[in-house]
Amino acid sequence: MANDHFYADGIAAVQLSHGNLRIHLVQQGSEDGQTIPAGTLIVPAARAQTILATLNQSVGRIIKSCASAARPPRPKPVARRRPKVRAATPSP
């Protein structure tokens, strides 16, 4: 593989061409704010929905895992004693 890793923080365009979904990825420019092409992710159109759903589920699990790791553990509830209720004595 020529380039098996690349960084992208945006999508410039999505096209359907010859049965493939082409997702054109971009990077934000450092100083001028212009986008720079980062690469094209090509996915068979027949598998695109499954691949994107899997990606979405994976990201959701990662976000949930990070959120629970950052959250402090809940304190255990303290057992409280109930006051004893005395039976009323009949007055003479």
Taking only the tens place, the pLDDT of each residue in 17-73 is 999 999 999 998 877 778 999 999 999 999 999 999 999 999 999 998 888 777 777
Percentage of residues in the chain having pLDDT higher than 90: 51
- Kindly state whether residue 23 falls inside one of the protein's structural domains: yes
| Phi and psi, residue 6, nearest 5° | -155, 155
- Kindly state whether residue 48 falls inside one of the protein's structural domains: yes
- Kindly state whether residue 74 falls inside one of the protein's structural domains: no
- Kindly state whether residue 50 falls inside one of the protein's structural domains: yes
Which pairs count as long-range contacts for 12-19, CB under 8 Å and 24+ apart, including other chains? 12/37, 16/45, 19/44, 19/45, 19/46
pLDDT digits (tens, 9 = 90+) for 59-68: 999 998 888 7
pTM, 2 dp: 0.64
Q: In what order do the strands lie in the sheet with 35-44?
A: 10-17, 20-28, 35-44
- Kindly state whether residue 31 falls inside one of the protein's structural domains: yes
CATH number, residue 17? 2.30.31
With a cut of 80, say whether residue 90 has pLDDT above it: no
Domain count, the chain: 1
Domain range holding 57?
10-68
- Kindly state whether residue 47 falls inside one of the protein's structural domains: yes
